[in-house]
Amino acid sequence: QVQLQESGPGLVKPSETLSLTCTVSGGSISSYYWNWIRQPPGKGLEWIGYIFYSGSTKYNPSLKSRVSISLDKSENQFSLKLSSVTAEDTAVYYCASRGYNYGFFEYWGQGTLVTVSS
């Protein structure tokens, strides 16, 4: 059973860069596409992007200019960086796995709340 755990600062200042890490256990990091998804308080879900084992990435065009997802195979981790944050980036950030086929998100982390505030 794959388990995911997000980690990182819970508070980020406006205009700075949000950085989160997701640690994968119980499964091979080569077996899935690794995704970030966020949910502003009281609102719906937004897909941010994914990285594959090969290092290939795909981002949501709405965030593409500010997003970077990277992979650390040796640590079984992948990371999110979101630059130039504003209050609108305040959200619960989830990491999630997506299989090779069909694109559903099978395993999720518990989520971590990131607040953008000075």
77 strand-pairing partners? 23, 72
Residues 19-38 that bind another protein (CB under 8 A): none
Q: Which stretch binds another protein (CB under 8 A): 8-16, 19-27, 70-78, 90-98?
A: 90-98
Q: Which stretch binds another protein (CB under 8 A): 22-30, 53-61, 67-75, 81-89?
A: 53-61
Position 108 contacts another protein (CB under 8 A): yes
Please report how close the Cβ of residue 28 comes to another protein at its closest, in angstroms.
Answer: 19
Please report how close the Cβ of residue 92 comes to another protein at its closest, in angstroms.
Answer: 9
Mapping DSSP onto H, E and C, the string for the chain reads CCEEEEECCCEECCCCCEEEEEEEECCCCCCCEEEEEEECCCCCCEEEEEECCCCCEEECCCCCCCEEEEEEHHHCEEEEEECCCCHHHCEEEEEEEECCCCCCEEEECCCEEEEECC
Binding another protein by CB under 8 A: which of 10, 44, 86, 117?
A: 44
Contact footprint for another protein (CB under 8 A): 44-47, 50, 58-62, 94, 96, 98, 102-106, 108-111
